[in-house]
Chains A and B, each alone.
Chain A
Amino acid sequence: MAEEKYSKRAFLSSQIDLSKFNASDFEKASDEEKRQQDVMGESSTFFRDGMRKLRRNPLAMASIVVLIILIAIAVIAPHICPYSYQTIITVNGRRDKSATNLGPMEYSQLETQYMEDSGKKLFPHLFGTDSMGRDYFIRVVYGTRVSLMVGIVAAVMVLIIGLIYGSIAGYFGGTVDLIMMRIVDVIYSLPDMLIIILLSVVLQQTLTPLIQGTGLAKLGVNMISMFIVFALLYWVGMARLIRGQILQIKNNEYVLAAKSIGTSNGRILRTHIIPNCLSIIIITTALQIPSAIFTESFLSFIGLGVNIPLTSLGSLANDARGAMQTYPLRLVIPAVVISLIVLAFNLLGDGLRDAFDTKLN
C-alpha cells in the first residue's frame, strides 16, 4: 500500500506543480456551497411552458392579433357606423336612390349635397355600397359576425357531443366501445353536403312555422339546419379523437396508480383523464372553427346559407359574382376576410398544437 502511494506521488509531481496549490484549496466544501452549484431549474407548469412556446411562435401570435382585430371590428363597428346592413342609405329621412354601386370612400350626389348644405360630415362608405344602395362595409361586418358565430357555435356543439360520446366509449371500452364506434363509422360514411341539402329542404317545411316570430327566424331556417347538421355529423371526428386519446391515457401508469389507491372511476375520469386530453381537445376545437366557417361560406355561396336580408361572407361573395367584371372589389373583400379568418384559425391551431401537444415535444 505504501509503495503504491509513493508511486502515485511520483506520478503526480512529475506532471503538476504542487506549489500552485495552497492548503485552503483542499478544505472541505460546505453543503451550502455545493448546493449553490446545483440549481434546480425555474419552476414552470405545463400550461406556462406551452404559453411561452406559443408566444415565441410569430405566426400564431400574428393570427391572434388578426383574430382580435376582426372580432373587435365585428363587435364594435355596428355601434359606430350609422348605417344598417339591411336598409338602403337614407339622407335626412329620404331614401338615396343615387347611392348605388359607389366605390370605396365615395359619397353619392345627395350625400355630397347634404354635407355642403348642413356643413356636417357624414360617415364614409369605407367599402362603398352595393347595387341596392346598402353600405358594403357594414354588410361585410355582419357577414363576419355570422361566419364567426357559425364557426364558434358549431365547434362548441361538436366539442360537447364529441367529448361526452368519446369519453364514454374510450373509458369503458369493450362492447360499449365497439357498438358506439360502429355508430360513428356509419355516420362518418354519410355524404355531409348531401345531408345538409336534404335536411334544409325538409326542415324548411317543419321549422318555418315553429320559429315564426322568435329570434331564430332572423337567422333563417337554412342557418338552423346547418347547425343541426353540424351537431349531427361533425362530432364524429372529435369523438374518435377523444376516444383514442383516452385509450392512450388510460394505459398510463398514473391511472393504474390512482386505481391502486382506491380512486373511483368518475374521479379518475375527472381528475386524471379529461385534464390530460384537454390540450388535444382545445387544439382540435381551434381547428374545427375554420372548417365550419368554410362549410358555411360554401353553403351560403351556393345559396343554402343565411336568409336575406341577413348576410354572411359566403352570400356576399355570391351576390358579387354577377358584377364581378365591373365591381371586382365586392367579391375580393369578403373572399379576403374569409381567407383571413380561416388562415388565422388554422395557424393558431397549428401553433397551439406545437406548444401544447405532448407527443410533439
Chain B
Amino acid sequence: MAEEKNLVEVSHLKQYFPVSSGFHKVPLKAVDDVSFAIKPGETLGLVGESGCGKTTVGRSLLRLYEPTAGRIVFDGDVLFDSGESYDEKGNVILDEKGKPLIKNPVKKNMLPYRKKMQMVFQDPYSSLDPLMTVEDIIGEPLDVHHLYKNKAERREKILSLMETVGLNAEHAMRYAHEFSGGQRQRIGIARALAVNPKFIVCDEPVSALDVSIQAQVINMFEELQDKLGLAYLFIAHDLLVVHHISDRIAVMYLGHLMEIADADELNDNPIHPYTLSLLSAVPIPDPKTARESHRIVLEGDVPSPLKMPKGCPFRTRCAYATEECAMHRPPLTDRGNGHMVACFNK
C-alpha cells in the first residue's frame, strides 16, 4: 500500500505581527518557518510554553490570520501559498535582485473549507456568545452554510449534535453562562462538529477545565475521532495530556519547531535538549517517580520574541550550545522513523 496521503500539509509557515516600537514597526515573529503534515484520522500534538506560537500556528493554519509566508494544503487543495520556493537546504531561492522568487501565489476563498476545517477554543467562557442560547450557538454554522431545509430539520440536527457531545436536549434553550466549563466545552465541540469537518484544530481545549472534567473531554475527543475519523491538531502545554491523546507530538519553542516524533518515541527517547528539560519539568502525579526523578531545571527565562537570539532560538538556555548554534539555525533532520530534531549537537 502506498503511503497514505496527507490531509493537512503546512510548509515554511511564517506569521509575523507588526509591533510598533517607538516610531517604526518591528515584526514579532510568532511563527517562523514551521512545517508539518497531518494524516487523515491522526492526532498531532503541539506543545510548547506560553508565547511559543503554538496557538498562532493553529489560527494561521485556518487562515484566521493571514499568514506572512508559507504554503497550506488541505486535502490536496492549496489554500494559501505565498509563492516562495526553497532549495534542498531549506533556504529561500532568490531572484537576480536578491528578493525571494515568487511564483503563482494562491489565496483561496476559505468559505467552502470552513466546513471541513474547524476549531475548538481554549476558553470555554469567552468562546461562546453570552447572549445566545445553546441552540443558536450550535445552529450558527448550520445557518451560515445553509445546511438545513426547514426549521424542523435545523432543530433535529442541533439536538442530535447535542446528544453526540453528551448534552441534555432539555438544555437547548439555555444560555451558555448557565453551564459549567466542561459542558461549555462540549457546546464548543458540538459547534465545531455541526459542519461535519474532517479536521479540527483543538486549541488548549482542556487547560481551562477542572482536573476531574478534563478526562471527560479528552475521552470525548478520542471517541469522536474513532467514530467520525477526525484528524486533530491538538495544541496544549500539558505534556501528559498531549502524550495521552496524540499519535505524534511536535515541540515548539519561540516560533520554531524543535522536535517532532511519535508520541511514545518522544516521551521515551527525547533528543532535543529543550524537549528533555520540558519532559523532566513536568510534575508527575506519582510520588515514587517524583522522588526518584531528577528535574533538569532550565536556567533563565524565555527570551522575548522581539529579541530573538540569532541562530538556534534555544541556545541562550541550552547546556550544549556551541558557537555553531549562534551562527546558524539548526534545520529539522530525520533521526530515523520520522523522528525529526532541530539540533546540531544531539
Q: With A252-B126, A253-B127, A276-B130 as known contacts, state yes or no: A260 contacts B175, CB within 8 Å.
A: no
Query: In the complex, which residue of chain B has the Cβ closest to the Cβ of A47?
Result: B131
Interface string of A350-361 (1 = CB under 8 A from B): 000000001000
Query: How many A-B residue contacts, CB cutoff 8 Å?
Result: 71
CA of A259 to CA of B65, assembled, Å: 10
Interface string of A260-286 (1 = CB under 8 A from B): 111110010001100110000000000
Contacts of B119 in A (CB 8 A): 257, 260
Q: With A44-B178, A272-B129, A275-B131 as known contacts, state yes or no: A253 contacts B140, CB within 8 Å.
A: no
Contacts of A188 in B (CB 8 A): none
Contacts of B31 in A (CB 8 A): none
Q: With A46-B131, A276-B131 as known contacts, state yes or no: A253 contacts B121, CB within 8 Å.
A: yes
Query: In the complex, which residue of chain B has the Cβ closest to the Cβ of A259?
Result: B64
Contacts of A253 in B (CB 8 A): 121-123, 126-127
Q: With A257-B119, A257-B121, A275-B131 as known contacts, state yes or no: A262 contacts B126, CB within 8 Å.
A: no
Whether the Cβ atoms of B144 and A262 lie closer than 8 Å is yes
- Identify A260's interface contact among B62, B123, B126, B177, CB under 8 A: B62
Whether the Cβ atoms of B178 and A257 lie closer than 8 Å is no
Contacts of B173 in A (CB 8 A): 43
Whether the Cβ atoms of B123 and A43 lie closer than 8 Å is no
Query: In the complex, which residue of chain A has the Cβ closest to the Cβ of B194?
Result: A261
**Which of chain B's residues 197-240 have a Cβ closer than 8 Å to chain A?**
none
- A254 within 8 Å of B (CB atoms): yes
**Which of chain A's residues 8-42 have a Cβ closer than 8 Å to chain B?**
40-41
Contacts of A258 in B (CB 8 A): 129, 140
Query: In the complex, which residue of chain A has the Cβ closest to the Cβ of B174?
Result: A43
- A256 within 8 Å of B (CB atoms): yes
Query: In the complex, which residue of chain A has the Cβ closest to the Cβ of B113?
Result: A262
- B327 within 8 Å of A (CB atoms): no
CA of A254 to CA of B132, assembled, Å: 11
CA of A45 to CA of B176, assembled, Å: 10
Contacts of A275 in B (CB 8 A): 131
CA of A44 to CA of B127, assembled, Å: 20
Query: In the complex, which residue of chain A has the Cβ closest to the Cβ of B123?
Result: A253
Query: In the complex, which residue of chain B has the Cβ closest to the Cβ of A254?
Result: B129
> Number of contacting residues on B, CB 8 A?
32
Q: With A46-B130, A275-B131 as known contacts, state yes or no: A261 contacts B140, CB within 8 Å.
A: yes
Contacts of B114 in A (CB 8 A): 260-262
Whether the Cβ atoms of A254 and B128 lie closer than 8 Å is yes
Whether the Cβ atoms of A267 and B144 lie closer than 8 Å is yes
Tell me, rounded to whole Å, the shortest Cβ–Cβ distance linking B203 to chain A. 9
- B54 within 8 Å of A (CB atoms): no
Contacts of A254 in B (CB 8 A): 126-129
Interface string of B165-185 (1 = CB under 8 A from A): 000000001110110000000
CA of A257 to CA of B201, assembled, Å: 12
Contacts of A272 in B (CB 8 A): 129
CA of A189 to CA of B195, assembled, Å: 51
CA of A260 to CA of B113, assembled, Å: 10
Query: In the complex, which residue of chain B has the Cβ closest to the Cβ of A276?
Result: B131
Whether the Cβ atoms of B175 and A46 lie closer than 8 Å is yes
Whether the Cβ atoms of B118 and A260 lie closer than 8 Å is yes
Contacts of A260 in B (CB 8 A): 62, 64, 114, 118-119
**Which of chain A's residues 234-267 have a Cβ closer than 8 Å to chain B?**
252-254, 256-264, 267
Contacts of A257 in B (CB 8 A): 119, 121, 127-128, 188, 191
Contacts of B59 in A (CB 8 A): 256
Tell me, rounded to whole Å, the shortest Cβ–Cβ distance linking A12 to chain B. 25
Whether the Cβ atoms of A358 and B144 lie closer than 8 Å is no
Tell me, rounded to whole Å, the shortest Cβ–Cβ distance linking B202 to chain A. 12
**Which of chain B's residues 91-143 have a Cβ closer than 8 Å to chain A?**
110-111, 114-115, 118-119, 121-123, 126-131, 140-141
Whether the Cβ atoms of B140 and A263 lie closer than 8 Å is yes
- B244 within 8 Å of A (CB atoms): no
Whether the Cβ atoms of B64 and A256 lie closer than 8 Å is yes
Query: In the complex, which residue of chain A has the Cβ closest to the Cβ of B120?
Result: A257
Query: In the complex, which residue of chain A has the Cβ closest to the Cβ of B125?
Result: A253
Q: With A41-B178, A44-B178, A257-B121 as known contacts, state yes or no: A262 contacts B141, CB within 8 Å.
A: yes
Query: In the complex, which residue of chain B has the Cβ closest to the Cβ of A264?
Result: B144
Interface string of B244-285 (1 = CB under 8 A from A): 000000000000000000000000000000000000000000
- B310 within 8 Å of A (CB atoms): no
- B328 within 8 Å of A (CB atoms): no
Tell me, rounded to whole Å, the shortest Cβ–Cβ distance linking B168 to chain A. 9
Contacts of A40 in B (CB 8 A): 178
Interface string of B46-63 (1 = CB under 8 A from A): 000000000000010010
Tell me, rounded to whole Å, the shortest Cβ–Cβ distance linking B66 to chain A. 12
Whether the Cβ atoms of A261 and B195 lie closer than 8 Å is yes
Contacts of B295 in A (CB 8 A): none
Whether the Cβ atoms of B110 and A358 lie closer than 8 Å is no
Interface string of A270-307 (1 = CB under 8 A from B): 01100110000000000000000000000000000000
- B145 within 8 Å of A (CB atoms): yes
Tell me, rounded to whole Å, the shortest Cβ–Cβ distance linking A338 to chain B. 37
Contacts of A259 in B (CB 8 A): 64
Whether the Cβ atoms of B118 and A261 lie closer than 8 Å is yes
Whether the Cβ atoms of B144 and A261 lie closer than 8 Å is yes
Contacts of B121 in A (CB 8 A): 253, 256-257
The contact sample of 6 A-B pairs, CB cut-off 8 A, is: A43-B174, A43-B175, A252-B126, A253-B127, A261-B195, A263-B144
Q: Please list the residues of chain B having a beta carbon within 8 angstroms of any beta carbon in chain A.
A: 59, 62, 64, 110-111, 114-115, 118-119, 121-123, 126-131, 140-141, 144-145, 173-175, 177-178, 188, 191-192, 194-195
Q: Please list the residues of chain A having a beta carbon within 8 angstroms of any beta carbon in chain B.
A: 40-41, 43-46, 252-254, 256-264, 267, 271-272, 275-276, 358
17 further interface pairs, Cβ-Cβ under 8 Å (given A46-B130, A260-B118) = A43-B178, A44-B175, A253-B121, A253-B122, A254-B127, A257-B128, A257-B188, A258-B129, A260-B62, A261-B144, A261-B192, A261-B194, A261-B195, A262-B110, A262-B114, A262-B144, A262-B145
